[in-house]
Every structure is written in structure tokens, then in C-alpha cells.
Structure 1
């Protein structure tokens, strides 16, 4: 049986300033900016992010503005996303366009990779506005689902990258 899709209103950077749900986090990665970018644009993202079952790129490489992907969560929720910014090697930003549950009204996510003296810094921002009746539960959803998923996505990256190289983190 085919999944029913609910539209999500596309958003842009302005949502980061106005959204009722907002998270920002950075992590220092002891690998080059190029290696960090490759991990973030590869197929392994779902292997280190808590609650994520599978990431599927639905656009062919090379990726750029307009690239699409689907994210399947352990909860059964599937999100469709479209990148409205793609600065190869340094930054990518998407808006969600649809989901299999009518939870989100708007959702944007931003990734920035910067070189540092010891590797790279990965900075991430996520902002969302929920539809009713989900908006009445946003505190609990944020505490038990959105925030832990975001933390695992950011904080798990260095260990994932180390495991792919077969090395321990320094």
C-alpha cells in the first residue's frame, strides 16, 4: 500500500529567526573539511543518527540546488526534502516538502563545514513549526524526539567517521 503524503509548506532561512522549535549545535571533527563533507553527503548518515532508519538520495549526483532526498525515521515517518542551498564542500540547506504524517507546517535544516587547525567544525541548525494538534505536544516531541535526534546526528559524526577509517578518535 502506497504511503499517504502530506504537504509541508516550503520555508527559507527566515524560519530560523521565527520558528517555535529551534536547535543549533556544533562539533569539532578531527578529520579534514573534505572528509567531513563527504560523510554528510554520503549514504551512511542513517547509521549514526538516533531514530533514523534510512536516508535515500532521490536525485542523481553531482548534488546541488534542487537535490532531493527522503529520510525514513524509526517511527515510520518519512520526510521529503529539497535543498535550496548547496555550496559544494561548505554548506547545504534544505526545506521539507512533504511527510507521511501531518506533523510539520514548516521545517528547514542547515549544515556548515569549516576547516580548523585540527580538522573541521560542523555546525548545524534546525527549525520547525508544527501543525495542530501536534503543536500542542511540541514540548514533549522536542524533548523526547527532535532534540535527542539532533544531538545524535551532530555528536555522533566524529565517532562514525573514525569507525569508517578504522581509527580511534584522538
Structure 2
């Protein structure tokens, strides 16, 4: 059953009780990476590890995301800065422990490619905040694998 999470704004990315930050580089330029993130939401299922289905909602101001294990997220897009930033928060989910979740993608030029910085900002019970950092290596690997898959999709390496 879906649960409503606490609505958060972009400043949550700095104040969240739990922040996991990952970086990777893609050979594709920032505009191409941004177009895949913000403009091709259904394409996420083809390159982001664990995403089974993704669809834009509310004329692009929202997203409906389903993970392979059955977790669902109804999201609101908070930032769309072409070539630079894409951020969204989760409004409702069937994940039992989350209280708030915001994901922020920062893109910066790196030579002819893109440096991506993904921040997973969340809140939940103490046990969640204690256990999630243990998942950092797996999340980091999934993120890097996903960026490599995105780069291949965009015609990079």
C-alpha cells in the first residue's frame, strides 16, 4: 500500500540525515546526458540498474518509477537545469521505512564528457540511517554500472 512521504525541497540534499554521494564520468557531453535523464524517462529502464519501468507524469513534472523488486515511487521533479541538474523527490512509495527521499543529479563538463554527481538524500528510522551506509558499496557499483550503460546507449564508450 502506498505511503505518503514528507515533502522536501531542494535544500534537503544538504540537510538530510542520510546522504550518499556517488560520482562517475561519461564520455557523452552534458546536454546528451541531461536529455537521457530528464527527456527520456522511459529509457531509464534500459540503463539504470534495478529500474523495471519509468514514465513521466503530470506533463513531465512527475515520474512513476517501478523497481525490479516491486518497489514503486511516485515522484515530483524539483529541478530541471538543462545540461547541469536534474532532481526529484519521492512523494509516495510502498517502501516501508522511508520518511523522505530526494535524488539530485549534478552534471559538469569533464573535457568532452560529463562528470555526474548523484546524491541520494533520505530520512528514515535510526536503523535505516545506520544500515543504508552499509549498502554504499553496492549502490556505488550499481551507479557506476548504470552510467557505463547510459554512456553506451548514448554512443560513448
Q: TM-score, normalised by structure 1?
A: 0.77
Which structure 2 residues correspond to residues 1-170 of structure 1 after superposition, within 5 A? 4-41=1-38, 42=40, 43-60=42-59, 63=60, 67-130=61-124, 132=125, 135-144=126-135, 148-149=138-139, 151-165=141-155, 169=157
Gaps of 5+ in 2: none
Taking a change above 3 Å as real, the CA distance of residues 52 and 149 of structure 1, as seen in their structure-2 partners, is: farther
Deviation at 1:104, TM superposition (A): 1.2
- Greater mean alpha carbon deviation, residues 88-97 or residues 156-165: 156-165
Q: Is the 8 A contact 1:49 1:149 kept in 2?
A: no
- Greater mean alpha carbon deviation, residues 104-113 or residues 18-27: 18-27
Q: Is the 8 A contact 1:51 1:149 kept in 2?
A: no
Gaps of 5+ in 1: none
Q: Is the 8 A contact 2:32 2:154 kept in 1?
A: no
What's the RMSD between the two structures over aligned residues? 2.3
Q: TM-score, normalised by structure 2?
A: 0.82
Structure of greater Rg: 1
The structure that is helix-richer by fraction is: 2
